[in-house]
Amino acid sequence: MRVAFQGQDGAYSQQAVFDFYPEAEAVACPAFDAVFDAVALGDCQAAMIPIENSLAGSIHQNYDLLLRHNLFIVGEHFLRVRHCLIGLPGVKKSEIERAVSHPQALDQCDEYLRRHGIRREVGLDTAGSVALIKERGERPVAAIASRRAAEIYRMNVIEEGIEDDPQNYTRFLAISPTAVEAEGETKTSIVFTLPNRAGTLYEAIGVFGRRNLDLTKIESRPLAGTPWDYFFYLDFIGDPRAARVNEALNELATLAPMLRVLGSYARFQ
């Protein structure tokens, strides 16, 4: 089984692939668009995409790509993100002047970097930043990435656990061309639009509240071409095969000009 991820060897997304699909071949893609295309075109059977981080928030591009492609969410995985300061072999922390990494990784280590007087340099991704500083050979420059990335590129872990908050988790979604029938406690993800009038969002949320369905996430994204109108992405605990969930979705459909179920899948435990 081939599973796409954004980044290169040593990326946190690659670790999420191995955690969720232990026997899979992880296929590196340069950008999130390419990840979705790899699955949509059949080059890969699935993909793992980050959708939100407990510190940095949502990855909005992937919400937009979920809407653009006819793919299904088939699972979720929470990955504990433990950042390392990584440099050339033999380099000490006192030598480091700049740190390069993905913008979210830099944000998650912002207090640490300021405390040590290390300037930020934005890179494309975490593992790619390790490869970059190895290629450059600059001793005063470090990368922020995983220990696994340091091992792959044979670089030096100067310090581990430099994230500002140890409760640093990224939620990943597994996506596939085919939906699954979840077993056990089920989470469902939907996207919908609403008429731009007072009270419609309140009415939409009430559809779930009246049936005691637990909402775990709500996110709004601009609706292209119609300023100040939005798509609403919503996750809740429940399976559409259950009567009360089916009733809630049917009632929401009477309010929403567009409603799409992105997937129902086993809730990560």
Give the CATH H-level superfamily of domain 84-160. Answer: Periplasmic binding protein-like II (3.40.190.10)
CA dist., res. 92 & res. 139, Å (int)? 9
Please report, for residues 9, 65, 107, 179, the alpha-carbon distance to residue 35 in angstroms, rounded to integers and kept in the order given. 15, 10, 24, 18
Active site residues: 170, 172
* Confidence (pTM): 0.91
- pLDDT at position 197 is 86
Token pair for 63 = 């919400």
Give the CATH H-level superfamily of domain 2-81+168-176. Answer: Periplasmic binding protein-like II (3.40.190.10)
Residue with tokens 């969930």: 245
What ranges do the domains of the chain cover? 2-81+168-176, 84-160, 186-266
Any idea which architecture 186-266 has in CATH?
A: 2-Layer Sandwich (3.30)
Q: What is the DSSP string of 23-54?
A: TPEEEEESSHHHHHHHHHTTSSSEEEEEEEET
Q: What is the DSSP string of 174-240?
A: EEESS-----SSEEEEEEEE--SSTTHHHHHHHHHHTTTPPEEEEEEEE-TTSTT-EEEEEEEE--T
CA dist., res. 147 & res. 159, Å (int)? 10
Residue with tokens 């050979």: 137
CA dist., res. 7 & res. 58, Å (int)? 18
| Contact assessment for residue 171 and residue 254, using Cβ atoms and an 8 Å cutoff | no
Which residues, including other chains, have CB under 8 Å from residue 135's CB and lie 6 or more apart?
A: none
- pLDDT at position 228 is 75
Edge-first strand order for the sheet with 215-222 is: 215-222, 230-237, 186-193, 259-266
CA dist., res. 171 & res. 77, Å (int)? 6
- pLDDT at position 269 is 83
Kindly give the confidence (pLDDT) of every residue in the chain, 269 residues in length, as a single tens digit, with 9 standing for 90 and above: 999 999 999 999 999 999 999 999 999 999 999 999 999 999 999 999 999 988 778 899 999 999 999 999 999 999 999 999 999 999 999 999 999 999 989 999 999 999 999 999 999 889 999 999 999 999 999 999 999 999 999 999 999 999 999 899 999 999 999 999 998 899 999 999 999 888 999 999 999 999 999 999 999 999 877 777 889 999 999 999 999 999 999 999 999 999 999 999 999 98
Residue with tokens 């890179």: 123
Closest CA to 217 of 6, 53, 15: 53
- pLDDT at position 223 is 83
Domains 2-81+168-176 and 84-160 agree in fold: yes
- pLDDT at position 248 is 98
- pLDDT at position 224 is 76
| Count of beta carbons in the 10 Å neighbourhood of residue 202 | 9
